[in-house]
């Protein structure tokens, strides 16, 4: 395959299809509607299932149903739609069925706007719905990375029978970038043994998130927590740049993360020893690595397109070992390299003094 100019929304949709997506259900919302539009044609072409639902509530429950039937299924949305899906997400995790959801974050709260934002970090990583759980949250920083992460998302969802959220933002969705799509993979030939497909020649399968006895429900919760612990042990992903000699560590993900690669280059040109840690999984969060790095750098700068949400995870992990500064933009504003660089310069000077 060769590199093509691909728009993020179309790229992740086409990638999902090529990774064997069997059923897509969705509801239009900017800034990700191109994904739904793209799949409306492509899924039918490939003889797969596409349906535009009457709401995000219905869409996620259609996905839930298809997941119970054991097919590779997903939806995509943005903030307001994601809020409506929260109920379904909780049922999906409680029922332990594999589902992938793409949330192309936009400015909030409320109707907010349609510009890029990272303000759903808490909502996705800490409180994706009622009950005790975390989804796996992947954070792509480029069109190529969201393509690759769609394959990873399905694998993780199916390996752990859980919910995987791909946390993009309007920038990743609307941007066109040189990227390469995966080759077309066939859809799975068989359904998992737990799926509801009609009890032909076997005992019936029941998929439910209802456990009336508290002992039973606690047992489920213990099992879910054990699963989360396995995910934390095995699935943390991050990218680092020039951390070995760094005095200052930038911590940022997604669009803010890629912007920080530019900040890092500029800072290095000025002789400032700056490194970057870019979490690719927001949950599980790269706690151990960040803790290690907090022993070797002199300060940190967290950059987010929010009021400071991942910041709280960084603070929790670093436990005051080094000063942490925050640079955040809200309301759909993408931070500029120069404004972050100003913070870098002053932070390095402060640390030196």
# of chain residues touching other proteins (CB under 8 A): 69
Site residues (CB under 8 A) for other proteins, limited to 199-218? 199-210
Burial label, 103 (beta-carbon count in 10 A; 0-12, 13-18, 19+): buried
x/- track of binding to other proteins for residues 251-290 (CB under 8 A): ----x--xxxxxxxx-------------------------
Q: How many angstroms separate the CA atoms of 124 and 128, rounded?
A: 5
Site residues (CB under 8 A) for other proteins, limited to 177-196? 177-178, 196
Q: Which of 216, 226, 336, 342 binds other proteins (CB under 8 A)?
A: 336
User: Tokens for 279?
Assistant: 């979490």
Sequence-distant (6+) residues with CB within 8 A of 254 are 118, 139, 140, 141, 167, 168, 169, 172, 305
Told to check if 88 binds other proteins by CB under 8 A, we report yes
Output 136 or 260, the one with its CB closest to other proteins.
Answer: 260
Q: Which of 57, 217, 236, 351 binds other proteins (CB under 8 A)?
A: 57
Which one of 109-117, 161-169, 218-226, 293-301 is the stretch in contact with other proteins (CB under 8 A)?
A: 109-117
Coil vs helix vs strand at 322: coil
Told to check if 64 binds other proteins by CB under 8 A, we report yes
Decide the pairing of beta strands 99-105 and 163-169. parallel
Coil vs helix vs strand at 301: strand
Told to check if 68 binds other proteins by CB under 8 A, we report yes
Q: How many angstroms separate the CA atoms of 162 and 230, rounded?
A: 12
Q: Which of 22, 148, 158, 343 binds other proteins (CB under 8 A)?
A: 22
Shortest CB 335 distance to other proteins, Å? 9
- Phi first, then psi, for residue 228 (nearest 5°) are -60, -40
What sign has the CA pseudo-torsion 282, 288, 291, 295? Answer: negative
Told to check if 130 binds other proteins by CB under 8 A, we report no
Decide the pairing of beta strands 73-77 and 99-105. parallel
Cβ pair 263, 250 in contact under 8 A: yes
DSSP 116: B
Shortest CB 311 distance to other proteins, Å? 20
Output 95 or 125, the one with its CB closest to other proteins.
Answer: 95
User: Tokens for 18?
Assistant: 């090529």
What is the binding site for other proteins (CB under 8 A)?
A: 3-5, 22-23, 25, 30-31, 49, 51, 53-55, 57-59, 61-69, 71, 73, 87-88, 91, 95, 113-115, 170-171, 174-178, 196-210, 255, 258-265, 334, 336-338
């Amino acid at each position: 395959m060769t590199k093509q100019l691909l728009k993020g929304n179309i790229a992740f949709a086409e990638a999902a299809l090529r990774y064997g997506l069997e059923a897509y259900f969705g509801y239009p919302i900017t800034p990700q509607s191109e994904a739904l539009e793209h799949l409306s044609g492509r899924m039918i072409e490939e003889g797969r299932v596409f349906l535009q639902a009457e709401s995000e509530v219905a869409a996620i429950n259609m996905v839930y149903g298809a997941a119970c039937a054991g097919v590779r299924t997903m939806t995509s949305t943005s903030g307001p739609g994601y809020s409506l899906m929260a109920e379904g997400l909780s049922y999906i995790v409680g029922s332990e069925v594999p589902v992938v959801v793409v949330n192309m974050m936009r400015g909030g709260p409320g109707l907010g706007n349609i510009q890029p934002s990272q303000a759903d970090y808490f909502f996705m990583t800490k409180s994706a719905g009622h009950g005790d759980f975390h989804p796996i949250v992947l954070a792509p920083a480029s069109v190529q990375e969201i393509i690759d992460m769609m394959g990873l998302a399905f694998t993780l969802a199916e390996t752990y029978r859980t919910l995987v959220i791909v946390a993009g933002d309007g920038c990743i969705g609307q941007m066109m970038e040189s990227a390469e799509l995966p080759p077309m993979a066939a859809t799975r030939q068989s359904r998992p043994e737990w799926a509801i497909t009609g009890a032909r020649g076997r005992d019936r399968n029941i998929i439910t998130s209802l456990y009336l006895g508290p002992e039973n429900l606690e047992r489920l919760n213990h099992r879910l927590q054990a699963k989360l612990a396995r995910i934390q042990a095995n699935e943390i992903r991050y990218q680092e740049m020039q951390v070995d000699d760094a005095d200052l560590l930038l911590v940022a993900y997604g669009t803010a993360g890629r912007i920080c690669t530019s900040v890092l280059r500029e800072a290095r040109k000025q002789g400032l020893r700056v490194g970057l840690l870019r979490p690719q999984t927001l949950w599980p969060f790269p706690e151990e690595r960040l803790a290690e790095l907090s022993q070797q750098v002199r300060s940190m700068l967290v950059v987010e397109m929010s009021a400071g949400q991942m910041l709280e995870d960084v603070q929790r992990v670093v436990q005051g070992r080094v000063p942490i500064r925050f640079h955040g933009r809200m309301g759909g504003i993408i931070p500029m390299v120069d404004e972050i660089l100003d913070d870098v310069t002053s932070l390095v000077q402060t640390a030196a003094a």
